[in-house]
Structure 1
């Protein structure tokens, strides 16, 4: 038998324990991941979520399931993630609206800054304003002048109250 010093014995024991712990842990992910989209199917958030889920599935070798949880300007889906186990298996495509919801909603069921871990920017996109060709405005300045000259005559559409598109147009009034 080879004699072991006390130091060698402790080092060998620590190494053995560390290696058994590492062997017992499976590589992430070991089960499907859910990606919550807090808006209805068919919109830009849903489209983006599905593209990301597909790429994640290919990269991780695991299914990523997109779940649409619309309602309350994204609050319902965001709340699901805020209350989910922090295990890396529940993710959220966060809408821009999450940043304005605290300003326009009296109480939220979560804290935007404390209940989420921000892991990356998924997309960026410009806003555009378009008009019917029969409207006599060909530039944004002409549209603003027309709206000021005819208060209450023009209307606009947005994806909903409190949305970034809604707030952008309201800021012009």
Structure 2
């Protein structure tokens, strides 16, 4: 099964699931002994990471978007919040709106190519 670490970690920690690899480009600090898929499967460059972010409707004033980003970044950097997220296998970032837009564009391009190559269709 492929799952997000934050939802899988309690089951891994309880011994109900065994993690064979993580799909991120680097090993998870929450599971440092678990290799990446690239390492375990000899698949250089393999990366399939999940991410979460906040989005606002088109036309939201820039100062509102910036304030939301700044306050979110502050919260993500609070020691208790950061420790909790890292323990769940997440990597908190709080990147800027421009950085997040670039990530969304890159992910859309990457996965569009995968879907196209797979031949998957919506019927």
TM-score by length of 1: 0.25
Bigger Rg over Cα: 1
Q: Which has the higher helix share?
A: 2
Between Structure 1 and Structure 2, which shows a larger proportion of strand residues?
1
Question: TM (normalized to structure 2)?
Answer: 0.31
